[in-house]
Structure 1
Amino acid sequence: MTSFEKFHPVLTAHLTLDWLTQAPVKSIDDLFSKESIKTAKAEKMPSEILDTVKNINHIMRLVMNGKELTWGMTDSSSQEFIGIISLRGFEPKSDTGSIELIIDKKHDDDLAEAVERALQFAHDHFDFRQITLTFNKVSAHTRSSLEQIGLEEPTENTFVANV
């Protein structure tokens, strides 16, 4: 099993992706009350700060046990916490993974950059054949952003990338 401990921070041109434990709990908790873009599995968010702390601890246990990779996203210039992105599909081992995310809607222009980096990361380090992103609903802007980086939408609100 690959140790995920070395997989942080991950950088893009404008973002730093690092463990959730590197972001202030208050910033993570505040994200859940903001208008945001979320994949379907990210729809259920904690409503209390203690639940946020429990959620962070649970996620980090999954990361340290090699079951998922989850990073907090920070704007590299302003140091503002803007979202969470996860790469899943390690348990049970599968050739199809998924990206789950929540990003502050006012940073929707950063969504494609974060997804593109997660796809490249999956390609460079793992044996996934495909990566999916599934939304309950998706805006025209998000759809356009994902299509511009090469994702296809074979069924409504589900996007697929071959890696």
Structure 2
Amino acid sequence: MSQFEKYHPILTPHYTFDWLTKVRAMDVFHLCQQVDAGQPTMLTTADYINQTMREIFHDQQLVWAISDRQTDQFIGRAGFSPIDMTTKTATISVELLAKMVTPATLSELYQRLLTFGTDELHLTQLTVNLPVEDADSPTILSKLGFTAVTAQQYRYQV
């Protein structure tokens, strides 16, 4: 059994982290339209979901669909992609539907990923690569102990 298979669902006070296969493919498709380069289709979205799950079960990444706990509405995806358990390093990704991007949401998700990565997975270095238009995350990441490598990249070292 994959080490990562057991890591779902994961809860925060307001959100549920669960496999991408637990949410509607149409919801993931809408997120892919917003954040991915190119022109995603339902077929490429289904392929993305299947490939992501294969990589999770081979301990190559650990990505979840994020849903609001009160409404059960899909709000985005987040996780560690890529992740290397040999070197204890990972890149954190948080991609939310535009209407869900708030400082409170970002803070709760980054805090949970940082805690999970260091306490549960024993990762020693975490990197976040921010999109150019992200104005809230630099402050949030700095408060969590990340240091700026560049204007768009932040690193946390245990």
> Match for residue 65 of structure 1?
58
Aligned to 1:160: 155
Which residue in 1 is equivalent to 2:46? 53
Cα deviation, 1:127-150, whole Å, max 9, x if unaligned, reads: 321100012414322322322333
Q: Deviations over 1:65-113 (max 9, x none)?
A: 1111110000111111011112134447223211123111222221221
Structure of higher RCO (CA pairs closer than 8 Å, 6+ residues apart): 1
**Corresponding residue pairs, total:** 156
Find the residue that maps to 1:30 and give its secondary structure: helix
Q: 1:138 to 1:47 in 2, by over 3 A?
A: same
Q: Report the TM-score when normalising by structure 1.
A: 0.85
Question: What is the 5 A alignment of 1:10-159?
Answer: 10-34=10-34, 43-44=36-37, 47-91=40-84, 93-109=86-102, 110-159=105-154
- Unpaired runs of 5+ residues, structure 2, are none
Structure 1 segments of 4+ aligned residues over 6 angstroms from their partners: none
What TM-score comes out, normalization by structure 2 length? 0.87
Q: Counterparts of 2:38 and 2:8 in 1: how far apart (Å)?
A: 24
User: More displaced, 148-157 or 51-60?
Assistant: 148-157
Consecutive unaligned residues of structure 1, counting only runs of 5 or more, are: 37-42
Kindly, what percent of the aligned residue pairs are identical?
28
- Is residue 92–residue 126 contact of structure 2 (8 Å, CA) maintained in 1? yes
Query: Could you tell me whether the CA contact under 8 Å between 1:138 and 1:157 is conserved in 2?
Result: no
